[in-house]
Amino acid sequence: MEHDATDTAILNLLQRDGRITNIELADRVGLSPSACLRRVRHLEEVGVISGYAALINPEAIGRSTSVFVEISLSSQEERALDAFEAAVVDHPAVLSCHLMAGDADYLVHVGCNDVSDYEQLHRTHLAQLPGVARIRSSFALRTVVDRIGFDLD
């Protein structure tokens, strides 16, 4: 979808503060509140804005251990991929899962309480996923950059 400078400004502001009021947003981008709301609704309808969420501090909820898990399957047939993908979404510790090109078939990001919590997750969930042939886990020591939005300028 093509968008103009006003759409870009709206998107940049909403990425920084999804709770900004429509009146404040309209004022900051130089539109009337009704025109601004129409633009935001259009961006939602065409799928540029896919949703809104609260960002939660992992340490505040005891999930400060971030693990990136490379998973290789024993087969890359469509049924095997579908079975794996259907099963991986069931665990609440899985924050994201990406089909990859390269050495591993999937990159899974999980959030855990600690190393023993991850060990339990590894044994009872990850290793039991359909078609898993190899698992390689990497523990994040510290987050350097974790952007929540895209640079649209």
DSSP 105: S
**Six-digit token string for 8:** 């870009």
Number of neighbouring beta carbons within 10 Å of residue 132: 18
Query: Do 108 and 129 share a domain, yes or no?
Result: yes
**Six-digit token string for 34:** 């009704």
Concatenated DSSP letters of 29-44: HT--HHHHHHHHHHHH
Q: Give the count of domains, the chain.
A: 2
CB burial of 25-55 (b: ≥16 within 10 Å; e: otherwise) equals bbeebebeeeebeebbeebeeeeebeeeeee
Query: Do 17 and 86 share a domain, yes or no?
Result: no
Predicted confidence band at 91 (pLDDT cuts at 50, 70, 90)?
confident
Percent of the chain with pLDDT over 70: 99
Residue 153 has pLDDT above 90, yes or no: no
Quick one: pLDDT at residue 22?
A: 98
Residue 27: domain span: 5-45
Quick one: pLDDT at residue 1?
A: 65
Quick one: pLDDT at residue 12?
A: 95
Query: Do 74 and 126 share a domain, yes or no?
Result: yes
Residue 43 has pLDDT above 80, yes or no: yes
Residue 21 has pLDDT above 90, yes or no: yes
Q: What is the pTM of this model?
A: 0.85
The CATH code of the domain that includes 30 is 1.10.10.10
